Amino acid sequence: MPSVDRVESSSESEVLARFTPTLLQRQQSVRQAGFSHLIVGPGDDAAVLDLRGGQTVVTTDTQVENQDFRWRWPSGLTTTGYDIGWKATTQNLADVAAMGAQPVSMVVSISCPKSSPVQFFEDFAQGMVDACAALGAEACTVAGGDLGTSTELSVTVTALGLTPQPVLRSGAHAGDQVAIAGALGTAAAGLALLETEQLPDLEEPALACIAAQQRPQSPLKAGEKARLAGATAMLDVSDGPLKDASRIADASGITIDFETESLRRFITPLENTASLLSNSPEHLALEWVLTGGENHGLLATFPADAELPTEFTRIGTCREKLDSAVTVDGVSVESKGWDHFGQSMVEDLAD
């Protein structure tokens, strides 16, 4: 991180003054657009929100230095405050969208070392605001939060949304279609590249994978569209399709079968990038697609006769319950993916 204007030489009010204006500007633009969920924003002991427009969805997620990101990766590439703000926003709003809800506000808690540059807070706030605008969360504001010190950077965001009826994980039925909105595998490829020493010069597809890891593009609006199209179950793919699909399968009492041919549109574009890291690029690309998380796409199930929203691609089918929660082309596979309390990197698929 740059060695300028550090937190230890600033007061809390001076730090707040570096990023609160960005959040207040967002609040003002949201109000001008006709949304009025946030009544009182940053500046008081607590925010005030009007959430009478539907059922309230609440979620929270945390990013911790050296667990969820590195300031400098083995590849030599770096993470910026803007990246962290963008990703913290995306991973939370994707959970709101996965409930079929419209994101309306967030609160954020940041604990950082005293040696942190104050510029981080400006960059972080801009990343949050730009992610809301770019991903289609027009009504979403940042209502406030908390600042503190710690031995490492930790960012926790709590997001709120509104929906007339949430889409749960437990509503899938045998015969339903399984579909995905958003990308698969690119963020996992980006993580692998970031963790690789002595990378060759990267071309655009590989650079796009790194961008997908650091600034994921979640299709937030697809959540509401899925609900309106009759989605029976849905979740945010944060830990990988195999692991996340098993959560729908277990909650709904069914088995989800992925179809390799339907996944080909995600696998093939990754093979050139995979060839930089493996002598078996097709296998590695398949691994990234099936076990890689953090793209924050939306995995949903729909009735067999439902017309899928244009953002969704059919990639499988719900079956009657088998011994395995998830199969690929009818073959049982272990539901591997990200596990905060297990390994920090995805494992190889079982042969």
Q: Which residues of 222-235 are buried (b: 16+ CB within 10 A; e: fewer)?
A: bbbbbbebbbbbbb
Answer yes or no: are the C-beta atoms of 209 and 194 closer than 8 Å. Answer: no
N-terminal to C-terminal alpha carbon distance within the chain: 42
Provide the pLDDT confidence category of residue 337 given band limits of 50, 70 and 90: low
The pair of three-digit structure tokens given for residue 120, joined into one six-digit string = 């981080």
Output the pLDDT for position 4: 58
Q: What is the residue whose two structure tokens read 């309306």?
A: 104
**CA 264 to CA 289: how far, in whole Å?**
9
Q: Is the pLDDT of residue 38 over 80?
A: yes
Q: Is the pLDDT of residue 201 over 90?
A: no
Answer yes or no: are the C-beta atoms of 248 and 233 closer than 8 Å. Answer: yes
Provide the pLDDT confidence category of residue 348 given band limits of 50, 70 and 90: very low
- What are residue 8's phi and psi, to 5 degrees? -65, -20
Candidate from 10-24, 154-168, 208-222, 250-264 with smallest mean pLDDT: 10-24
List strand residue ranges (DSSP E) for the chain, in order.
38-40, 48-49, 55-64, 102-112, 141-149, 154-163, 177-181, 233-237, 255-258, 297-302, 312-319, 326-328, 331-332
The residue ranking higher by pLDDT, 308 or 27, is: 308
CB atoms within 10 A of CB 209: 28
> What percentage of the chain has pLDDT greater than the value 90?
79
Provide the pLDDT confidence category of residue 345 given band limits of 50, 70 and 90: very low
Q: Is the pLDDT of residue 11 over 50?
A: yes
CA dihedral 120, 122, 126, 129 (to 10 degrees): 110
Q: Is the pLDDT of residue 104 over 80?
A: yes
pTM, entire model: 0.90
